[in-house]
Structure 1
Amino acid sequence: MTGAATAVDHLVVAAATLEQGVAWCEATLGVTPGPGGRHALMGTHNRLLNLGSAAFPHSYLEIIAIDPEAPPPERPRWFGLDEPALQARIAQTPALVHVVARSAMLDMHRWGLITVGHQPGDPVKAGRDTPAGRLEWQILLRPDGTLLCGGALPTLIQWSGPHPTQAMPDSGLALQALSLHGLPPRAREVLRLRGVAHREEGPALSAVIRTPTGEVTLHSAA
C-alpha cells in the first residue's frame, strides 16, 4: 500500500532523570534544552529543542524521562521507558531511542502498517498546556509500550492544532540527516518517510545534528 508521505516530527532521547538529560545535552550538543512539560497520561516529563532544517522542517528533539512526582500510569509508558534493559542502559547515559513521524492521515497509515504485518497500536488522545497555549495530538501507542523493529518503525503522531515548534526559538541546532536500519521495505512504502535514508546494517537510528561546534552523530542501539 502506498499513501501520503509522513515526515520526521521529533527524535526521542531517553534519560534516567531530566536533570541527567539536560547535562547530557549541554555536554553533547553544546546547548541547554528549552522548556517542556509534563504528560499526566504517561507519568513522564520532557525538555525540547528545535531541530528544524531545510531537510526536516518542523522537527525537534525531545529529552524524556519518567517523572518522579507523577503517579504511575495505568498503562506502560511510551517509548519503552518501563523496560528494564532500557532503564539499565540510560542509567549510564541518555540515549537516542526512537523517532516519531508526523502524519496528516493517521488512520490511513495505521491500517497500512497493519496490512503489511505491523501492529503500531491504537490512537490515543493526549495534550498538555504550555505558556503559548494548549498542545493536543493523537498518537499511536501499543498496549505493551514496546517499540517495533528495534525502534526503527516510527511512532505516528497527528497534531490537532499548533505544532510545538511554532513556539520554539532557534536552538542553534539543525537535523541534517536521519537513517534507519531494520524498517522492512513494505513498511517504508506505507510511511514514505520524507528525507530519511535506509541502511542494511548498523544501529536502528543514526541522526546527524549540526551544532554550534560542528556536526554530532547520535546512534541508537544496534
Structure 2
Amino acid sequence: MLTLDHLAIIAPSLAEGAAHVRDQLGIDMPAGGKHPEMGTHNLLLRLGDDTFLEVIAVDPEAQRPPHPRWFGLDDPRAVRAAWDEGRRLRGWVARTDDLGAALARHGALLGHAVPVSRGDRNWVFAVPADGSLPAGGLAPSVMDWGSRGNPAAAMPDLGARLRSFGIEHPDPEWVSALHAALALRDPPAVERGARFRLRAVIETPSGLRTLT
C-alpha cells in the first residue's frame, strides 16, 4: 500500500520557490538541506504529523551527479516552462515500507531504487531511468524512509495543514484507474480539467489557501 507522504514544488531556484509559497500561502518556508547524491537542495514546510510540502531545486553549489536527478530537474528548460505557465506544484511522493515489492510490480513506471540522504537522514527513493516524474506527475514518486519514518513531526509547526489534494486532467477516469492499480491509500480526488494540474488546499494562519 502506498500512502501520500509529501508534495513537491519543482522550482528553477529555491528563491523563486520560496517567493511562490510566500505569495500563495503567506508563509516563509524553513530551510531543509542538501541531497548530495542528487545535487539538489530544498525547503520544507510541515503540513501535519506525517505530511509536508517541499520546494526542491538544483543546488548551484553541488557537483552534477553521474546519474539523472529526480523530479525532472536535469531539464531546466522544461522546469522553467512549467513554472512560467503557473504549474509549480508538479510532484507528489508516496511512501511504502516495502519499496522492493512496489518496484517489482510497477518498476517500469516508478523506476529503480536509489539511496539518497539529507544531513543525517538516509532513505531509498525510486527514480525513473531518465529522472522524469512518473507518468509526468500523474503518478507519485515512491520512497521508503526506513526505520526513522517521515520527518514532518520534527519540523517547525507554522500552523499549515493539508486539507485536500487533487488532480485536474482531461481523462479523470484513466487517472483514477492508474491510482487504483498502484494501490494508493486515500488517493487524490481527480476532476476533469482542460489540462493536467495538481492542486492542494492548505489551512494557514490566515485562512484556507490554494497552492498550485
> So what's the TM-score if we normalise by structure 2?
0.87
The yes-or-no answer on 1:35 pairing with 2:31 is yes
Counterpart in 1 of 2:95? Answer: 102
Matching residue within 214, 217, 220 for 2:210:
217
User: Is contact 1:15-1:94 (8 Å) kept?
Assistant: no
The yes-or-no answer on 1:71 pairing with 2:63 is yes
| 1:111, distance to aligned residue in structure 2 (A) | 2.2
User: Is contact 1:176-1:210 (8 Å) kept?
Assistant: yes
Give 3-state SS (helix, strand or coil) of 2:158's partner: coil
| CA distance, structure 1, for counterparts of residue 175 and residue 103 of structure 2 | 15
Give 3-state SS (helix, strand or coil) of 2:109's partner: coil
The yes-or-no answer on 1:12 pairing with 2:8 is yes
User: Is contact 1:6-1:194 (8 Å) kept?
Assistant: no
| 1:195, distance to aligned residue in structure 2 (A) | 5.1
| CA distance, structure 2, for counterparts of residue 186 and residue 26 of structure 1 | 33
| CA distance, structure 1, for counterparts of residue 152 and residue 116 of structure 2 | 17
User: Is contact 2:58-2:73 (8 Å) kept?
Assistant: yes
| CA distance, structure 1, for counterparts of residue 85 and residue 43 of structure 2 | 19
The yes-or-no answer on 1:166 pairing with 2:162 is no
User: Is contact 2:38-2:116 (8 Å) kept?
Assistant: no
Give 3-state SS (helix, strand or coil) of 1:156's partner: strand
Matching residue within 113, 134, 143 for 1:157:
143
Q: Look up the equivalent residue of 2:130 and give its one-letter code.
A: D
- What is the count of residue pairs matched by the alignment? 204
Closer/same/farther in 2, CA of residues 19 and 204 from structure 1, 3 Å limit: closer
User: Is contact 1:48-1:60 (8 Å) kept?
Assistant: yes
Q: Please, what is the CA RMSD of the aligned residues?
A: 2.1
Closer/same/farther in 2, CA of residues 112 and 74 from structure 1, 3 Å limit: same
Q: Name stretches of at least 5 consecutive residues in structure 1 with no aligned partner.
A: none
Closer/same/farther in 2, CA of residues 101 and 90 from structure 1, 3 Å limit: same
Matching residue within 116, 125, 131 for 1:139:
125
Task: Give percent identity, aligned residues only.
Answer: 36
Counterpart in 2 of 1:176? Answer: 163
| CA distance, structure 1, for counterparts of residue 104 and residue 211 of structure 2 | 31
Closer/same/farther in 2, CA of residues 119 and 151 from structure 1, 3 Å limit: same
| CA distance, structure 2, for counterparts of residue 137 and residue 191 of structure 1 | 21
